[in-house]
Each structure stands twice: as C-alpha cells, then as structure tokens.
A and B are shown apart, each in its own frame.
Chain A
C-alpha cells in the first residue's frame, strides 16, 4: 500500500508543480497579486509531497519490500542498513528522485528567503523553478518511476547493490554533487526572472550571488568527494580520469566559477549584465547536459546507468525546451540590458573579464573533448575515444595561465589601476617564488614542469598574502581591527584561491613524484618501492556480512622500522558473484602508501599494486578549502539585508 501512496504523492506534486509553473506568472502578467502570492504555498506543498514519496521509498528499502521492482534490483536483505538506505540513490530511478528532492529543497529554500527579494521577482523565480521541477517530475513519473511493483510474484530477496557502491562514498557523494548541480537552477531561475521582468540591475546580481556561491561550494565538495572515492574504491589509485561523467560535473563547475566572478562585476559595477545572464543559463544547461550524458548511456563511462533510449530522448527534449526557451527569451530581451559603463584595461573589470574568457575556454575544451566521440559517431566516422592526454595537454597550460592571473586580479582596483600598484608586489612575488621553487626542484630533482608549476603555486601564495597585508596595513587603525573589517567575501576568495594552489601542488607532486609498482608477490616476498620496504606477510580468508574475501597482510618498513600495516582485500560478493578490490591505504600529509590486490595468479602468487603517492591528500584538502571559501562568501553579511522594493 505504501508504495502506491508514494507514487500518488509524486503525481500530486506534479500537479502542484504545474500550477506553480504558470499561476504566479499569470498573476504577474495580469497584475493579480493574489495569484502571484500563491507561489510560496505551492512551492511548500510540492516540496512536501516529494519528500513524502522519498521517505516512503526509503522505508521500502529499510523493510526490504522486494515487491517494489527498484528495491529488488538494488537491495538485498543481507545488506547493512545504512547501505540499504543509500541504495535508494544507487540506481537510475532512485537517484533521479533524489535529484528532484534536492531541486524542490532549493525551491523551498528560495521560498523561505523570499522576503529578501522585491515582491515581483520572488514569485517569478519560484515559478521558473516550478517549470524545471515540472520537467523532472514528468521525467520521473513517465519514464522512471521507482514505485513500479512486482505483484503478485514478489521475489524473496533482492539482486543486491553493486558492490562498488557499498561504501561511505555512495552515501555522501551523490547528494552533495546534486546539491551543487541542481543548485545552479536557482541562478538560472534568477536570470530568467530578470529577463522576464526586465529588471536586470546590480541588485539582481546581489540576490543571485549567495545562491550561486552556495551551490558552487556544494559542487566543489561533491567533486572532491567523488575524486577521493574513486581513488580508494576503484583499486587503481587514480584520482581523476577525464571520464565523460566526471567532465559532466566539472563543466558546470568551471562555468559556475566564471559565473561567480562575473556576478561580482555585475553587482559592483553594473557591467557584463547580459553576459552574466547568459552564463547563468549556460551553467545550468551544462548541469542538464551532464544529467543527459549520465542517464542516456550515449557515452561509455564507468558511471553510466543501463541505457534506455526513451530516457535519453525525454531528457534531451527537456534540455532543448529549457535551454532553447531561455535562450530565445535572452535573444528577445537581452538587448535592453546593455551596459553603458566603460572600464579601463587595467581595472578589476578587465581582470575578471580575463578570468571569464579563460574559464569559458576551459569549459569549451572539456566540452569538445567530451562530446567529440558523439560527433564522430554521428558523422559515421567511426567509434573513437578521446584520451586523457588530450585533456592534460590542453587543460594544463590554460589553467596555469588562469592561476597566474588569479593571483594578480585581487590587487587591482575597480575601473582603473595604476601600474605601480602591481609593480612591487608582482616583482617581489616573482623573484621569491621562482627562487624558492627552484631550490625545491633542485633538492628533489624535479623536472622543469614541476619547477614552473611550483613557481605558479608560490606566486599565488605570495601575492595573496601580500594583497591581504597591503589591505590591512592601509589606514591608521591597527592591523587586527582592519583585518576584522575586511568582508567575509574577501576571506572566502582568499581561502578559495589558496585552495586552488593546494590542489595544484597536490596534482603536480602526485603526478611527478609518485612511485607505482605492479609486482608479482607471494606471501613471504618483499619489495621495495620509493624508499619503503613492503613485506607480504600472509594471506587469509575472511567473511564479511555479504561477502567472502582474501585478505592480505602487508607491513611497510622505512629504514628498517615498521611504519604501517596494510590489509588490502579481494572481496567476492556472494549475491552477484562480483569481485571487488578493496585497497589498503596508509594516509599521510605528505604521502600515501597504497596497496591493492590485483589478480590471483598461479600457485600462491598475486599481482599486487604498490604505490607511494606523494601529497595526494593535498588535492582534496584544496577542494575542501575552496568549498569553505565558497560558503564563507555565500554567508557574507551584505546578502542578509532585506532588499528595499524600490531599490
């Protein structure tokens, strides 16, 4: 009975989404305040109904209701309870329900904060969000309902969750990623609302900024967690593969980063207005494109859900309607919002323009590499894949250039900057960073690329602290009161920029200074990798709740002293008869020891991967810093003020 209520609740929420999509807009055009004000209650009811069906599906998982097809496909009575609950988003239908739940969650958040917006804008923003919700609820109900029943012949037990997904990573990665992905719908809705009402002024940018920063922070965290998860779960120690689906989440991140920066210009100076609106549309479109790529199965990827052409067609249609509609609106209305303020080539506007150009170029290069196999196939030129080297070759130089400028931009002043402002800080930072990184490179015998990248990293560190110091030492007040006066926004930026540097250092050192060995080892054998001695002590059979495993016992020695014990496992999950590698890690601030069991060879020998990865944690540490920076910026006090309707 409960699953039917869940289904019914979804159908009801579809009707509320339908009303939300049109009633407030009709109210706006006819000047009917009453209709306009239905937006808020409609949003809350729609969100509540989606929440109800989400809880019901979760309940079906918790009580092993295998008469529900989706539960029987993705869960098993042997599964620990927390994996049963997270199995809810382990497959297409449930993860789409999570998508929709998070979408309506953002809608409700906007509805709660609606008082910070002028009377007209808020309901229209909710109305646009209602349209997006309508599209996804329809997608969920018509092509992928999670409540389909297997009656009267319900299976006795379920098919189990894919063992790769039986991990803490699955519990946290998708919800956070979706928070970011879907959060850009708010910026999108603001952009479309601005186009509809024609009130595209700088206060528009001020409302959109905290929402964009918050979703950007979630997306950053989601991507970081995904990278960390792939690193320890896939068993071969990679942290980024340029897989189409990773790219699908990375493109909105790049575009969202550009959006954050152009919103700043639009808010402070009233320029780049139409560009910012376009970027907001573009960012959310990339989120939708990502959803399409993941769920249609058109690209070969480790993330792909089982392919179903009708889903692909549906979501492509949805993409075309939303993107096409908003771009059409943009084409009609954007001419009215041309900005007439001019700015100099050394002003902060110009630096942020440069940031936007480079980030857009980066987004497009990733987009091209991701879609190239599709284009190739559509033109019947053959089946191809674009290798990671393409992305590395194109992405790295542009990204480094961007990071170099990223450090200089904050020094600049709005409109125009005197060259002398840049001269000394840049000169000192350049000399310092090249020298220090030169010494490091010399000591550790790194190559030229490492020297270059480390210089760039240090350059950013020097200039960021230099900029902070210049800002706090200006004026007559002491340093500490001045430091406390600087807005949270500024500290958020500083933290995020330093996060980029930390990630950069991690990437450079992990790629250039790591040792990776593939060895053939039997219990009792020893191997030395990067100054560590690894001894394969023993192998034993162990039994887990829903698997049996070969568990290796390894001890790592440095200079004859034991530093870590590692226990990699090879698990056989009994329900699906699927084999899984469980890597063993000894995490450290400057290096990770990583062992995973490959295949069992003849006799007692195993193929074993032993890696010593230097500074790999820094990649994710930087991600966390960026996320914290984004949140700090989103929580800036300036955004909390109630907006005057006549502003």
Chain B
C-alpha cells in the first residue's frame, strides 16, 4: 500500500476503535443507570418492577412519618391521593422534607411492596414541586375524575 494511504488507514482505524469503545461504554452505562419514575398508583397496581433501581414520589402523608428510637431509620408514606406507598429510608432526610410536601425518592421496591430508598430528594425552595410529582398528581386526579363521571348514581 502507498505509505500515505497506510497512514490514513491507521488513523481511521484508531478513530473507529476509539468511537466503538466509547459507544459501547455509553450504552452499557446508560442501561445500568436509567432510573424510571413511578407514581404511587403505578406501584400499587403492579406496574413498577421489583428489585430494580427506580424513582418514586408523591406527597408525604400527614402523620405517616415514623422514626426508629435507636437508629436513623425512618419510614413514611407518599401518596398521589389515590394510592399510598410506604417508603423506608436509613439516613438523614433533607431540610425541606416535611409532611404534606412533594418528594422524590430513589431506591428499590421490595417484594412486600415497600419502597426502600437510598436517597430522598426534597427541593431547595418550598414553592417548588418536582415535575414528576406534579404530573403524577395530575394523572391521578384525571383518572379519579373520569371514574366518578362514569359512575351513574343509583337511587
């Protein structure tokens, strides 16, 4: 082969190998680290997978926060006002975590239907609502409205 062409081939080969490994690295990393969001209704109706990394969120139910007296373990319920899901967490909750506020948790759903969180996120501003939670609430509200309108009064 002509030396110039040989050089070009060499460069192109290197770029291809590099690109190939980068693309496979990205594919691998994306597959491992995409966390889908599920609303309490989706979790209760069984749409969410068990033992996979997912995110869940909703409004923290008033009076549902229960702390372990000895450790940092805490549990609470979140709701989209149709269904409730229990979340367990071992750690320090963020400053803006409060009953009645919207939160998003990251973690896994165990086989008892309890969400075991590794991270709980509340937002930095009390006016702010995580968009996922807003949408989950809206969906829940829409379905409940549809359901009530379908029910004919029987009297």
Give the B-binding residues of A (Cβ under 8 A).
162, 164, 235, 297, 300, 302, 304, 306-307, 344-345, 357, 361, 365, 368-369, 372, 376, 382-390, 393-394, 397-398, 518-520, 576-581, 598-599, 601-602, 607, 609
Contact = CB atoms under 8 A, between A and B. Distances in A.
B33 A609 contact: no
10 contacts: A300-B132, A361-B19, A368-B30, A384-B37, A394-B25, A518-B92, A520-B72, A580-B95, A602-B67, A607-B92
Contacts of A519: 72
B18 to A, nearest CB: 7
Contact of A579 (B91, B95, B135): B95
Contacts, number: 111
Given A235-B95, A345-B11, A306 B18 contact: no
A162 B37 contact: no
Contact of A390 (B32, B96, B135): B32
A385 B29 contact: no
Interface in B84-134: 91-93, 95-97, 104, 106, 123-128, 130-132
Nearest to B69: A602
A388 B10 CA distance: 35
Contacts of A576: 126
Given A393-B32, A578-B126, A609 B92 contact: yes
Q: 7 closest Cβ contacts across the A-B interface? A: A598-B92, A383-B37, A390-B33, A393-B29, A387-B33, A607-B92, A579-B95
- Counting chain B residues whose Cβ lies within 8 A of the other chain, the interface size class is 35 or more
B22 interface: yes
Interface in B1-53: 7, 10-11, 15, 18-19, 22, 25-26, 28-30, 32-37, 53
Contacts of B95: 235, 578-581
Contacts of B124: 162, 164, 302
B124 to A, nearest CB: 5
A519 B124 CA distance: 23
Contacts of A365: 22, 26
A394 B29 contact: yes
A393 B28 contact: yes
A384 B35 contact: yes
A599 B30 contact: no
Contacts of A581: 95
B34 A386 contact: yes
B93 to A, nearest CB: 6
Contacts of A579: 95-96
Contact of B92 (A344, A578, A599): A599
A33 B7 CA distance: 50
A559 B142 CA distance: 63
Contact of B128 (A306, A369, A394, A598): A306
Contacts of B11: 345
Q: Which of B10, B15, B19, B26 is packed against the most chain A CB atoms within 10 Å? A: B26
Contact of A518 (B7, B36, B91, B96): B91
B64 to A, nearest CB: 16
Contacts of B33: 386-390, 393
A306 B131 CA distance: 11
Interface centre among B33, B93, B106, by most A CB within 10 Å? B33
Contact of B125 (A162, A345, A372, A518): A162
A166 to B, nearest CB: 13
B30 to A, nearest CB: 6
Contact of A372 (B25, B30, B67, B91): B30
A533 B25 CA distance: 42
A384 B69 contact: no
A368 B34 CA distance: 12
B135 A383 contact: yes
Contacts of B32: 389-390, 393
B71 interface: yes
A345 B7 contact: yes
A385 B25 contact: no
Contacts of B131: 297, 300, 307, 383
Contacts of B15: 357
Nearest to B136: A383
A394 B72 contact: no
A411 to B, nearest CB: 19
B132 A386 contact: no
Contacts of B132: 300, 383
B34 A372 contact: yes
